[in-house]
């Protein structure tokens, strides 16, 4: 859909809405220099996902898995929130946006000042003990494989791996936000990771309008009421100007 022909419409829809929720994926952080997964130069082209991001892989080769996470942490540490993260944060402050449901583990939404962030897939800066379940935030990037202070087990990144369930409480919170939304803005997600991809469908079934922001076609495009086929920072800057808050 051509944004200029829809300008008035989008502005009206946004300004009349009472509860906007954003669903974000790796694409929103791409412009911060963090590679997305499913692309020619994406993160998974060098490694097969199940060889790294699974509990089996971690059990078999904790050293390789940790090496990969340390490499990602270094990349993420250098990254700064971009315009798209900042605009969402501003919209929250102004009361336009109620929450962000994110599949990202990079913490860049919080870095931009967003408060109500629901992290579906965990956070790369947190570790968890697979034996005693204790969790903590890391204060620096580990140089060696980190171990649990209580039981000595090798700690794992507190992120959701392939074949793992999402935290049921977090998922329930996300579903609840999805139900309350009258607009859901879907930014930078391919929509092929379950159950995250159900979230906009829930909103749609409850009568919400879906706005997709993505330079490429996705599994959710068919459900979208408005599609902006541009990068997150450009699209959100345009929307921000348009609604003028
Ligand atoms: P994905 O890699 O499957 O898809 C990324 C999407 O972003 C694609 O549809 C692509 O067209 C779009 N995109 C690329 N550049 C964009 C831009 N500048 N603006 C807007 N959109 C852009 O990502 P996903 O759907 O989030 O699923 C991947 C999984 O991997 C998630 O579970 C996520 O947890 C994880 N992941 C996280 C990070 C991160 O934390 N930054 C990075 C990579 C992957
Ligand atoms: Zn432990």
Query: What is the arithmetic mean of pLDDT over 103-123?
Result: 98
Ligand 1: lining residues by beta carbon, under 6 Å: 25-27, 29-31, 34, 36-38, 43, 103-106, 121, 187-190, 193, 213-216, 218, 231-232
More confident residue, 1 or 176: 176
What's the pLDDT score for residue 184?
98
- d(CA 122, CA 107) in angstroms, rounded, equals 9
**Does the active-site annotation cover 121?**
yes
Q: To which residue do tokens 């087990």 refer?
A: 153
Q: With 70 as the cut, is the pLDDT of residue 6 above it?
A: no
Percentage of the chain surpassing pLDDT 90? 86
Closest to 216 measured CA to CA, from 49, 11, 26: 26
Return the best residue to mutate from 188, 197, 231 for the ligand 1 pocket (most ligand atoms within 8 A of CB): 188
What's the pLDDT score for residue 171?
98
Query: What is the arithmetic mean of pLDDT over 14-41?
Result: 89
Q: How remote is the C-alpha of 144 from its chain's centroid?
A: 27
What's the pLDDT score for residue 104?
97
**Angle at CA of residue 114, ends 140 and 104, nearest 5°:** 60
Residue 129 CA: which ligand is closest? Answer: 2
Query: What is the arithmetic mean of pLDDT over 73-83?
Result: 96
Task: Write out pLDDT tens, residues 91-106.
Answer: 999 999 999 999 999 9
Query: What is the arithmetic mean of pLDDT over 55-76?
Result: 93
Q: What is the 3-state secondary structure (H, E, C) of the chain?
A: CCCHHHHHHHHHHHHHCCCEEEEECHHHHHCCCCCCCCCCCCHHHCCCHHHHCEHHHHHHCHHHHHHHHHHHHHHHHHCCCCHHHHHHHHHHHCCCEEEEEECCCCCHHHHCCCCCEEECCEEEEEEECCCCCCEEECCCCCCCCCECCCCCCECEEEECCECCCCCHHHHHHHHHHHHHCCEEEEECCCCCCCCCCHHHHHHHHCCCEEEEECCCCCCCHHHCCEEECCCHHHHHHHHHHHHCC
pTM strictly above 0.85: yes
Mean pLDDT taken over the chain: 93
What's the pLDDT score for residue 245?
78
What's the pLDDT score for residue 3?
55
- Predicted confidence band of residue 5 (pLDDT cuts 50, 70, 90): very low
Percentage of the chain surpassing pLDDT 70? 92
């Amino acid at each position: 859909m051509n944004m200029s022909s829809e300008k008035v419409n989008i502005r009206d829809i946004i300004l009349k809405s009472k509860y906007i929720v954003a669903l974000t994926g790796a694409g929103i952080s791409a412009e911060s220099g963090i590679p997305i997964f499913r692309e020619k130069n994406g993160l998974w082209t060098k490694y097969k996902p199940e060889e790294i991001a699974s509990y089996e892989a971690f059990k078999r080769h904790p050293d390789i898995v940790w090496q990969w996470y340390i490499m990602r942490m270094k990349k993420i540490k250098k990254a700064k929130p971009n315009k798209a993260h900042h605009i969402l944060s501003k919209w929250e402050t102004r009361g336009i946006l109620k929450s962000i449901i994110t599949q990202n583990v990079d913490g860049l939404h919080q870095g931009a000042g967003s408060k109500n962030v629901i992290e579906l897939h965990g956070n790369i800066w947190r570790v968890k003990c697979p034996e005693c379940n204790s969790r903590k935030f890391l204060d620096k990037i580990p140089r060696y494989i980190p171990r649990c202070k209580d039981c000595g087990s090798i700690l794992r990144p507190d992120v959701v791996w392939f074949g793992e369930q999402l935290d049921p409480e977090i998922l329930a919170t996300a579903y609840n936000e999805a139900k309350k939304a009258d607009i859901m803005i879907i930014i930078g997600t391919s929509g092929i990771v379950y159950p995250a991809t159900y979230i906009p469908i829930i909103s749609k079934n409850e009568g919400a309008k879906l706005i997709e922001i993505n330079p490429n076609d996705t599994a959710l495009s068919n459900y979208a009421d408005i599609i902006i086929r541009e990068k997150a920072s450009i699209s959100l800057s345009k929307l921000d100007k348009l609604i003028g808050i």
